[in-house]
Amino acid sequence: FRVRYRLFKSVINDWSQVKRLGSSRAGGLSYIHNPGTEPLHYVTIGQLATAAAGRWPDTDVFVSTYHDTRLTFSQVEQQANKLAAGFLDLGLVPGDRLGICSPNSAQWFLTALAAAKARLILVS
């Protein structure tokens, strides 16, 4: 918990803004109403994964000591792209929902990323 708290604390400096995230008031945090000084980037999770694989191909991105699994950015990119193509070959189209019921694992991680790359809505 402390590690997560420190991570969130380092990312979100103004905690008053967090309360507004769940607010239904018009003018809350969004791409249109950005109250911050840093610009928001219009990229998808899939695009970020592809960029990371190009920048750090041999760096571990997924490590599970429980399952004795290590995956690098390039391995994740390759496997997620194959899985995303498989979803589309099965007839799923962007916007379709993809359900997954699984414990945390490399397969869940890859499925979530593949769903994002295929522009599917992940239901877990």
Task: Please report the beta strands in the chain, taking only residues with DSSP state E, as ranges in sequence order.
Answer: 60-64, 69-72, 97-99, 121-123
Tell whether 16 and 66 lie within a shared domain.
no
The DSSP line for the chain is: -HHHHHHHHHH-S-THHHHHHT--STT-SSSSS--SSSPPP---HHHHHHHHHHH-TTSEEEEETTTTEEEEHHHHHHHHHHHHHHHHHTT--TT-EEE----SSHHHHHHHHHHHHTT-EEE-
pLDDT at position 58: 97
pLDDT at position 111: 97
- For 8-56, the pLDDT digits (tens) are 444 445 545 444 444 444 445 555 666 667 777 788 999 999 999 999 9
- The domain tally of the chain equals 2
Identify the CATH number of the domain in which residue 92 sits: 3.40.50.980
Tell whether 52 and 98 lie within a shared domain.
yes
Tell whether 53 and 23 lie within a shared domain.
no
| Whole-prediction pTM | 0.69
Tell whether 118 and 57 lie within a shared domain.
yes
Tell whether 34 and 60 lie within a shared domain.
no
- For 69-109, the pLDDT digits (tens) are 999 999 999 999 999 999 999 999 999 999 999 888 999 99
Tell whether 63 and 107 lie within a shared domain.
yes
- For 44-61, the pLDDT digits (tens) are 999 999 999 999 999 999
Tell whether 29 and 72 lie within a shared domain.
no
Tell whether 23 and 63 lie within a shared domain.
no
Query: What residues make up the domain containing 24?
Result: 1-39
Tell whether 87 and 51 lie within a shared domain.
yes
